[in-house]
Amino acid sequence: MSTFDSAPSRRGTGSLKWDKRPELQPFWVADMDFSSPPEVIEALHRRVEHGVFGYALPHDGLIQSILDYLNLRHGFAASPDQLVHLGGLVPALSLSCRAFAEPGNSVLTCTPVYPPFLHVHRDAGLNLVTVPYVYDKSQWVFDWESMEKSVGSDARVFLLGNPQNPLGRVFSRGEILQLAEFCKRHDLILVSDEIHCDLVLDEESTPHFSALQLPEEFAERTITLLSPSKTYNIAGMGYAYAVIPNQDLRRRFSAKQGHTLAEITCLSYYSAEAAYRHGEPWRRELVSYLRDNRNLLTAFCRDEIGNITIPDMEATYLAWMDFRPAGISDPAAFLEKQAGLFLSDGRLFGAAGHARLNFGCPRTLLEEAINSVRRALA
């Protein structure tokens, strides 16, 4: 029996995922139902036993664990001054828009995409330009021609998710290099959200290529956003960080924080340190379990149902499903009514007719969801 075959009950715990719509089985928001690694829980217990929870700074142990992680996982030798500690990645997206563009400028991204990408431009009074990804042989890819046609002289920032949410793509080295060249040619700051980078389901066939690994000519205009939150199921701790090698970019980014961001708690810092220091064996087991969940769901969509399109999900625990071939234009509403399931509505990501299903759960729950979809379609 796997560690991940069971999970604690989350009903009535103030869980956004489980308590927002308690009458439905939730497979929507991006947190998993598994307990965090034991070492993370133990670190939190030790910090709680100290008994004092005043204002916190990133302590030496946390900083060193991040530097070690960046070196081991991404081959990037960072220095502490290149890190900007944050209370989450969505504020970092907003900060990037405010730091590197002026009202009336535009920000560019590709859709479908994580919903905040489609809204943070408003914080800076910017215009949003979106270019749809194109579906090619079971895989979503950049539409380079449309991107060239859409980018204007007023564009200042490109927002990237890699691995991509909700498409599950792990963009190749060649794709990221081509994107970096595109950004340089059009004088764009590349903001790369890599929060799912440790949830690549087959690191041999689709290795993650981080923006941190770009040649120096591109790295000077790049901000990389990272967090242990998704991988180790500590999203509620609200901790993330930006890696910004260029001193001028880092200064401009940090200056725009002003007084808008909340303090980061000591528990956030200690949970992140424990995850990076001790969580790797747990992470490997998790990825193996998620891969089997992915395979189960993919086989259901492709081999049994046949008219629900699902791409090759290379990363994350979030499946992007196109129900239009099944004649269902609003799958989230359909599955809520007919199956009692709560999925993320594709329209929020910029793609009607789709739904996103979170398979970061025990297999028995996923099997129940599949059975509910099967009955609803029948």
Alpha-carbon distance values, 60 to 65, 112, 232 (Å): 9, 39, 21
Judged against a pLDDT cut of 80, whether residue 287 lies above it is answered with yes
The CATH label, of 3.40.640.10, 3.40.190.10, 1.10.3430.10, 3.40.1190.20, for the domain at 54-277 is 3.40.640.10
pTM of the predicted structure, to 2 decimals: 0.97
Which contiguous run of DSSP H or E holds residue 321?
A: strand 318-322
For residues 224 and 210, is the Cβ–Cβ distance under 8 A? yes
> E-strand spans in 101-233?
106-111, 127-132, 134-135, 140-141, 155-161, 189-193, 222-226
Judged against a pLDDT cut of 90, whether residue 1 lies above it is answered with no
The whole-number average pLDDT for the span 42-69 is 98
| Number of neighbours of residue 360 by Cβ within 10 angstroms | 24
Same fold, 3-30+280-377 and 54-277: no
pLDDT at residue 74, rounded to an integer: 97
Q: Look-up: residue for tokens 């307990």?
A: 35
pLDDT digit string, tens, across residues 182-237: 999 999 999 999 999 999 999 999 999 999 999 999 988 999 999 999 999 999 99
Helix (H, G, I), strand (E, B) or coil at 160: strand
Angle, CA 19 vertex, CA 4 and CA 198 arms, to 5°:
40
pLDDT digit string, tens, across residues 18-40: 999 999 999 999 999 999 999 99
- Helix axis angle for 363-377 and 280-299, nearest 10°, is 20
Using 50, 70 and 90 to split pLDDT, how confident is the model at 122? very high
Compute the residue count for the chain. Answer: 378
CATH 3.90.1150.10 given to domain 3-30+280-377? yes
The whole-number average pLDDT for the span 10-14 is 97
- Using alpha carbons only, how large is the chain's radius of gyration in Å? 20
Using 50, 70 and 90 to split pLDDT, how confident is the model at 260? confident
Domain ranges of the chain: 3-30+280-377, 54-277
Q: For a pLDDT cut of 90, what percent of the chain falls above it? A: 96
| Number of neighbours of residue 258 by Cβ within 10 angstroms | 9
All residues at 6 or more sequence positions from 31 whose CB lies less than 8 Å from its CB, including other chains: 16, 17, 230, 233, 235, 236, 358, 360
Judged against a pLDDT cut of 80, whether residue 131 lies above it is answered with yes
